[in-house]
Amino acid sequence: MSTILQQSFSVPFRYPVVFTENLFAVTQTLFADTFPEGQLARVLFVLDSGVFAHHSELISQIKNYVAAYPSRLALVDEPLVVDGGEACKNNPDAYQQVVEATNSFGIDRHSYIAAIGGGAVLDMVGFAAAISHRGIRLIRIPTTVLSQNDSAVGVKNSINAFGKKNYLGTFTPPFAVLNDFTFLESLEDRDWASGISEAIKVALIKDLEFFEWLEKAAPALASREMEPMKEHIIRSARHHMDHIAGVDPFEFGSSRPLDFGHWAAHKLEKLSDFRIRHGEAVAIGIALDSAYSFLQGRIEEADLLRVFKVFHTLGLSLYAPELQEDALLQGLKEFQEHLGGRLTIMLLDKLGKGVEVHEMDSILIVKALHLLQNWEEHGSIQG
């Protein structure tokens, strides 16, 4: 005789995604108001070394801010500064440093970790927070275009392992996401521009009007005008949030629409030893899958050129010599393994509408790669 007990329950997840400026100005109450009233919030701050290098006053600002709200906030210790960029996801010592801090400073499930930095640092710190005490509440304070318009608003945390991107990770929603546009002013030009790739991605598969807006705004964005940058970040973040709130936020299935262009991008990052940054790799990956869509007859040549020209206006390359044929096809195989089963790739059915396919023709992939190379070398897709 067998006895089977069925268990079923649901847990609602809610977290605010806020857009503001000068988050740690003492007169700006937003950060303090993030925490429940009537409780002293013990917070460990973890700072991206790259952010700290450009904002050396940040630790003093944080201390002054916390001192101004003594009944609401308390620092558990000095803010912890960690290496920024993909290096922090490749080095296990980085997340261990955060885990050790939670133990040393008695950070528990009623405490908070506030991570300030780019997407890689937020990924790494989020992973450390998620595995400590089975989940310490995380506040993300993204400082790059890429993290503000895409990665920080989601529920993923990860580090790299076994030579594979995001091999270890969790799906753990943050306690809050606080976007401070002020941090964007100190970004290098390549980080300012490359982060826009994620917005182009979501526009191409979901929203033609947004893509058309990005086409028109591209010169202003390339000139580092702040107002269109703010608008594009908020619109992109809303699209990503709407998708996450859909049918499969924890990606139990193989459908990954928001990974449009990413199967090649992840491989390219690794092949370049992360010389090519994520947003730059995503631009190439999007161009590759758009070219493949064109070769399959899904979109017109004029559509493909519109995609290429947006990236060109932003100053982004669409080809890298590291992306050779064999390595590219190996990247597709690794992406399928990462999905855990059936291959599912997002292509373009038309501009503003994605379509999922479950197989790709290696010959067309190579032809698409050659289109990118022709564009980069000759300004034309014709060989």
pLDDT (mean) for 194-222: 97
pLDDT in tens, 146-157: 999 998 999 999
Q: pLDDT tens digit string along 9-39?
A: 888 889 999 999 999 999 999 999 999 998 9
Q: CA 274 to CA 89: how far, in whole Å? A: 11
CATH of the domain at 282: 1.20.1090.10
CA–CA separation, 290 vs 310, rounded Å? 13
The band of 379, judged by pLDDT with boundaries at 50, 70 and 90, is confident
Which of 186, 204, 228 terminates a domain? The answer is 186
Residue at 310 is within a domain? yes
Tokens of 218: 């591209």
Alpha helical stretches, state H, the chain: 30-33, 49-54, 58-68, 87-90, 92-104, 119-131, 145-149, 189-194, 197-206, 208-222, 226-244, 262-271, 278-295, 301-313, 325-339, 362-378
> Does one domain contain both 152 and 40?
yes
- Residue 245: inside a domain: no
Using the structure block, give the residue that is written with the tokens 């790259």: 50
226 and 91 in one domain? Answer: no
Same domain, 204 and 348: yes
Q: What is the pTM of this model?
A: 0.92
Flag whether 10 is in a domain: no
User: In the 3-class helix/strand/coil scheme, how is 145-168 assigned residue by residue?
Assistant: HHHHHCHHHCCEEEEEECCEEEEE
Q: Is residue 315 part of a domain?
A: yes
The whole-angstrom separation of Cα 65 and Cα 119 is 24
Position 339 scores a pLDDT of 65
More confident residue, 248 or 324: 324
* Last residue in a domain, options 143, 166, 186: 186
In a domain, 244, yes or no: no
Whether 225 and 367 share a structural domain: yes
Between 57 and 243, residue with greater pLDDT: 57
Average pLDDT on 347-362 reads 94
Domain count, the chain: 2
Q: Which residues are CB-contacts of 165 (< 8 A; sequence separation ≥ 6)? A: 89, 266, 269, 270
Establish how many alpha carbons lie within 13 A of residue 326's alpha carbon, considering only the half-sphere containing its beta carbon. Answer: 0
What token pair was written down for 105?
């400073």
Find the mean pLDDT for residues 130-144: 97
Could you tell me if 231 and 116 lie in one domain?
no
| Same-domain pairing of 47 and 112 | yes
- Asked if residue 246 belongs to a domain, the reply is no
Q: Which of 143, 158, 186 is the last residue of a domain?
A: 186
Considering the domain architecture, whether residues 158 and 56 belong to the same structural domain is answered as yes
Q: Is residue 53 part of a domain?
A: yes
Cα gap 250→127, rounded to integer Å: 15
Within 8 A by CB and 6+ apart from 103, the residues are 132
Q: Give the CATH number for residue 169.
A: 3.40.50.1970
Task: Indicate if 288 and 311 belong to the same structural domain.
Answer: yes
Q: Where residue 340 falls among pLDDT bands split at 50, 70, 90?
A: low
C-alpha of 310 from chain center? 20
Is position 96 within any domain?
Answer: yes
Question: In terms of domains, do 130 and 269 share one?
Answer: no
Label residue 255 by pLDDT band (50, 70, 90).
Answer: low
304: amino acid identity, one letter: L
Question: What was the pLDDT predicted at 164?
Answer: 83
Could you tell me if 45 and 86 lie in one domain? yes
Same domain, 258 and 208: yes
The parent domain of residue 270 ranges over 189-238+253-378
| DSSP one-letter code for 144 | S
Let me know whether 162 and 276 are in one domain. no
